[in-house]
A and B are shown apart, each in its own frame.
Chain A
Amino acid sequence: MTVSFIHTADWQLGRTFGQAGDEARGALHKQRFATVERLGTLAADRRADAVLVAGDVFDMVAPSDRTVLRAIAAMESFIGPWVLLPGNHDPALAEGVWARLRRLGAPANVMVAAEPEPILLAEGRLVVLPAPLRRKNETGDLTGWFDIAPSSPGAMRVGLAHGSIPSRLPEDADARNPIAEDRAARAKLDYLALGDWHGTLRIDARSWYSGTPEPDRAKGNDPGNVLFVRIEHPGDLPEVEAVPVGHYRWHDLDAVVHGSDDVWALAERLRGLGNPLNRHVVELSLQGTLDLARRTDLAGVLEDLSARLCDLRVDDASLIAEPSDDDLQAIGRGGFVGHAVDCLREQATGRNSEQAATARLALQILYLESVRGGA
């Protein structure tokens, strides 16, 4: 009677990662399909009865045909049933992606749970109760009907929903498309497969967010997994195993640099993220004050790492570069140049932050030109 399935969600296929560098973009975009293929392979390997996708299969209401075709291709890795639930990114609209999915040749084992009606799988041993989204934001709890949905006594009742549990999610999460916290109990579900939260998260013994199988943002909340769920008999507690399938790792780092040591420490830290470095995506926030020489060093370090990592995005708005005496010496204290440097330094501490920033940058340039002699 055992039923096992893969619970996943939030594939966000078609997302373009515009913020990332040129090369990274393509790679990140493509990887998502590869990860789907991988989880399909996992399902096949583990002989799962189904793959349940709890919403946001596609990142937008109208992805390109190419994206849809690729999705179909990726799902060929598992011939068992795929149950795709329309989420808030890809709601079941009148003439939306789901209609196209069929037209573009999705095979019969790929099912779209566009209606709130039970789906029987695994020769009736598994009943999936979907709560599809018809529009981006539903104000009511679409899982309500689970409570009264009938199913045969020997079948596992598994709910499939996309939304947020207002009381359970961390504070900064969106609270729309609400789902009752105790839906699993009320509807007598054996398992409630949730989607929308991108990190793997246990709500209770029977209610889980699988998270996205391939991370798509730096904020860490344990993404990159699928959940392999086994239930022996109806009513038993499910065994839930988180299986990492994601390829890339995303990091959101803050660093404070005040001198040469800090610079090198940062370099080490970045290098130590993992091997190979090109599987890591880093968003780095810098703070601190450096002299011009160190700033140049830092620039060098970051450039080096940028080439090694998959993608490195640096926010250095809070990083101040100020010339030290040595810097000034290098620039040359002589005559009008020195006078110019004094002027710029004064401006760099002025109240108008934009002008001050321009002055600081001017000093940096002057430093580089003087030191490098015009590189």
Chain B
Amino acid sequence: MTMRIRRIRIESFRKLAGPVELEGFGNGLTVIAGDNEDGKSTVLEAIRAALFCRHAAKSEYTNSLAPFGTAGARPRVELDFALGDAAYRLRKAFCRKHEAVLVAPGRTFEGEAAEEELCRIFGFPPAKTGRAPKAEEQGVWGLFWVEQGTTFVCERKIGDAGRSTLIGALEDEMGRVLGGEAGRAVIERIRHRCEELFTLTNNVARGDLKLCRERRGEVEKRVEVLEKQAANLREKLTELEGWRAERLQLEREQRLAHAQQTLREVRAEHDRIEVLRRRVLDARHEQQLEHAKLDAAREPWQQRQKLILAAQGAAEASIRVSAELDRARQNHVPLREQLKAADAGVESAKVRYAQAEAAFAAADEALRRSRANANLAAAAEALAKTEAAGAAAVAARAEAAGIAVDDAMMDDLRKLAARTAEARARLDAAETVLEFAPEPGRAVFLGEQAVDPAAPLRITSEITLRLEGFGLLTIRPGGEDLDERQRQAEAATEARDCLLARLGVADMMGAAAAHAQRRERLAAADAEARTVSACAPDGIDALRARVRVFRQELADLAVRDPSPPQDLEAASALLRTAQVERDAARRALTEDQQQRDQITAAWSAADRALIELQARKDAAAQLAVDREQELARARAAAADAALSEVMKTQETNVANAALLLRQAQAELGGADPAAAANRLEAATKALEEVQAKLMQMHEAIRDLESELRTLGQLGVEEELDQARGDLDRARRQAAAIEARAAALRLLHDTLRATEAEARQSFAAPIATRMAPYLSDLFSGSELEFAPDTLQLRLLRRRGIEEPLASLSVGAREQLAVLTRLAFAELLLDRGQPAALILDDALVYSDRKRLRQMQKVLLRAAERLQILVLTCREDDYAGLAPVLRLTERTAAPDPSLELGRTLS
């Protein structure tokens, strides 16, 4: 059913002192424009108050409806609206002279009746008090006021009434009953039953379940313990039986007696063997004694043998030494003769050597004289040379000194010549050239001189020429500095010439020649000087001294041998010969000496040997005698044969003893003592074992019997039997209660699941309705509603879930509006009245989105009335009829005036 507001008239209501009348609302989208502070929100509040606030109420809220600061005001609202085809007019006044009148088609309601009818029409519960109508109390209508600043809090609570209206709409769509109170009660009871047995959150057992489990656990433990005890008891009984049986067996078999008997037998055998063993020991002892005795007998005999050998040895040694002595004596004599001869030889060699030495000395002296002579000659020659060269050098230098043109002068000269040449050149350059071509027979004269007409005349200064047939011609050559150049050239020439004169030469060539000569003279002097140096490196004085020395030497030598010195060569040759001869003589001498020494040495050695041998011979003889005596003495004490006899006897004894021993051992071996020892050990052990076993048995039986007496009294088996029964019951009880718990859990979970499913299914129609709008503004996304509160929870875009809080403010605004649109359409489909009022609800949206939203609104406005209150008129220009608040005034309602006057 469509709901359309047609007209609003507000007076004395909060900001609007009024009266303000708005009419001309369209069927679809209508824009109510007004600046901030104009009272747009007041308009909304007025509609709300008109519909939902009890006219008769006296409360802070109703007081607040009056314009600020006016007491005794009478807020008044008139609302014309149509529901479907039915037209209604509502009039409400608050505070003073409150009233409510609802003019419906065919009926008029006043006061409370009017309020009730409003509730009925719009499906909201009557307000309980006069407070500001809360959203919950406005029924689903709370949804449809989308106010400024609250858009993005999409958490408007829908009260139960609101929800039931909405749900009622959805019910038909889904055909399911949510179950209402009864269903909730069942879930609650089941939950309660569950909680009696376990916590739903983490399945912790409590109550009977816990108790039964604990009991079961306890009894299980108890049974375990008792079973162990019973088993223990049985074991003990069995053990006791076992021991008793074994003891019986032992007794029957008379094991003890047998063991003892065996021991006795084995021991007897053992003793017998002991005897044999003893015998062997004795025999061994005997043998050892005889051995010792044999050793004792052997020793003297061995000593005797040694003695005999020693005597023999000594005698032989004595003889050998004598022979040696004789031989040595024989060798001694010839040596003396040899020595003599050697001495003589040495003497003659000495003589020869002395001679050779003298010859050598003479030759040496001759050579020295020759040498001195030669030296003198050489030195004198050198001296002469030196002196000559010296004189020459002096002469040359004197000549050179006479020439004035030395290097420096030459240089200067050249420079001057050069300068002259240069100056001249420059002058020539600046000169004037006269070329004559006289007529035949005519001549040119410079002074008295005739000038050669063939050659051009160069002039650099004024000249006067006489030209035959003409007269005089004076030419003053021009040129810049001709005078200067001329001067310079003259000066240079003069300088040159001056120097030449000073140097005493005619011209340059002469100068050059003089210079060259000077040079040559100096070079010659140098050459002579070099010669001097060569001949007399130490200086001429030194050379002279040397000459003097040589002369002297020669004079000294001449004293000894006045004969003229020989030739150097010959003297040298002579000396060499003498030297050779001398060396030979020395070698011969040396050889002879050596030989003589050898012979002397040999002779001494032989001498010594003789003495030694003599001594040895004496000693050896003595020793032989001693030994003989010793032997004789020993033999006197005991003859050789006797000793030998004793020894032989003892050897026999030893052999006998060995024989006896072997016999005894054989006997023992035959008896196998090792085995017998083993048997004795075994038998002893066996007996001990039997005894120990008997003891053990006895003790075990005694202990067990006493233990069993104690155990038996406990009545373990009876208790176990009882406990088993308890366990069986405990298990059954626990199983039963577990089954119940499981069933409760299953029941609870199933109920919850189905409930959630049912709730969730409510959200589907809303989502369906919103889908086309979503695709415009949030393409590719879906919405999720909280099933219990039907509030928007999150947006799912391309699979990613975005909670509302994370969306931009603008987006949330848009969603809020779209959601309300969907709800409104849902209600419309069900024939319930719906209209949407947006109070500056899209302030945060960008232009593009705003346009999109406006398209959506326009589309929706085809079916329901949408009022947009905005301060941004331009945003909505051209879209819908605009009612401007500021323009809307109306004449004061006469009835109002009346009301005032009357009260």
Contacts and interface: CB of A to CB of B under 8 A. Distances in A.
B221 interface: no
Contacts of B744: 362, 365
Given A16-B722, A63-B715, A362-B744, A95 B704 contact: yes
Interface stretch (B79-87, B173-181, B339-347): B173-181
Contacts of A116: none
A96 B708 CA distance: 8
Interface in B359-391: none
B104 interface: no
A61 B176 contact: no
Interface in B180-196: 180, 182-183, 186, 189-190, 192-193
Contact of B755 (A95, A336, A347): A336
A358 B716 contact: no
A62 B743 contact: no
Interface string A352-368: 00000111011111100
Given A17-B725, A64-B715, A370-B186, A358 B743 contact: yes
B717 to A, nearest CB: 4
Interface string B739-754: 1101110110011011
Contacts of A335: 176-180, 183, 758
Contact of B712 (A62, A66, A373): A62
B503 interface: no
A19 B189 contact: no
A60 interface: yes
Contact of B717 (A62, A336, A370): A62
Contacts of B178: 335-336
Interface stretch (B157-165, B234-242, B452-460): B234-242
A118 B355 CA distance: 169
B728 interface: yes
Contact of A332 (B183, B704, B711, B725): B183
A65 B189 CA distance: 53
Contacts of A357: 739
Given A359-B743, A364-B743, 19 more contacts: A18-B724, A18-B729, A20-B725, A62-B230, A94-B240, A95-B705, A332-B183, A334-B177, A336-B751, A336-B755, A339-B754, A339-B757, A340-B747, A340-B751, A340-B753, A343-B754, A358-B746, A365-B744, A369-B190
A100 B241 contact: no
B714 interface: yes
Interface in A60-115: 60-67, 93-97, 100
Nearest to A372: B189
B237 A67 contact: no
Interface of A: 14-20, 25, 59-67, 93-97, 100, 135, 332, 334-337, 339-340, 343-344, 347, 357-359, 361-366, 369-370, 373-374
Contacts of A358: 739, 742-743, 746
Nearest to B712: A62
B265 to A, nearest CB: 38
Given A16-B722, A344-B750, A362-B750, A62 B711 contact: yes
Contact of B179 (A17, A62, A336, A369): A336
Nearest to A89: B717
13 contacts: A16-B721, A62-B716, A62-B718, A64-B718, A65-B715, A94-B708, A100-B713, A337-B179, A358-B746, A362-B744, A366-B186, A366-B190, A373-B189
A310 to B, nearest CB: 15
Contacts of A18: 721-729
A64 B714 contact: yes
Contact of B182 (A61, A332, A364): A332
A335 B754 CA distance: 9
A17 to B, nearest CB: 6
Given A335-B758, A336-B757, A365-B743, A66 B715 contact: yes
Contact of B758 (A96, A339, A362): A339
A135 B754 CA distance: 65
B712 A361 contact: no
A344 B743 CA distance: 10
B304 interface: no
Contacts of B849: none
Nearest to B244: A94
A340 B743 contact: no
Contacts of A370: 186
Contacts of A93: 237, 240-241
A94 B712 CA distance: 12
Given A16-B718, A63-B718, A94-B240, A337 B743 contact: no
Contact of B719 (A64, A334, A340): A64
A366 B754 CA distance: 14
B751 A369 contact: no
A365 B755 CA distance: 18
B709 interface: yes
B764 to A, nearest CB: 15
Contacts of B725: 16-20, 25
Contacts of A63: 715, 717-718
A94 B237 CA distance: 7
A257 B726 CA distance: 30
A96 B712 contact: yes
Given A93-B237, A337-B179, A339-B754, A332 B186 contact: yes
A334 B719 CA distance: 55
Interface in B730-770: 739-740, 742-744, 746-747, 750-751, 753-755, 757-758
B743 to A, nearest CB: 4
A349 B389 CA distance: 161
A94 B241 CA distance: 6
B321 interface: no
Nearest to B758: A336
A144 to B, nearest CB: 21
Contacts of B746: 344, 347, 358-359, 362
Contacts of B244: 94
A336 B190 contact: no
Contact of A100 (B240, B712, B717): B712
Contact of A361 (B705, B714, B723, B739): B739
B233 interface: yes
A339 B179 CA distance: 11
B715 A67 contact: yes
A15 B240 CA distance: 26
A100 B186 CA distance: 64
B728 A19 contact: yes
A230 to B, nearest CB: 36
Nearest to A16: B722
B155 to A, nearest CB: 25
Contacts of B189: 369, 373-374
Contacts of A15: 721
B710 to A, nearest CB: 10
A194 B365 CA distance: 175
Given A335-B758, A337-B179, A339-B754, A344 B747 contact: yes
A162 to B, nearest CB: 18
A135 B186 CA distance: 63
A337 B715 contact: no
Nearest to A17: B725
Contacts of A332: 179, 182-183, 186
Most-contacted residue by chain B among A62, A63, A332 (CB, 10 A): A62
B713 A337 contact: no
A66 B244 CA distance: 29
Nearest to A104: B713
Given A18-B728, A63-B715, A332-B182, A95 B708 contact: yes
B718 A60 contact: yes
B727 to A, nearest CB: 8
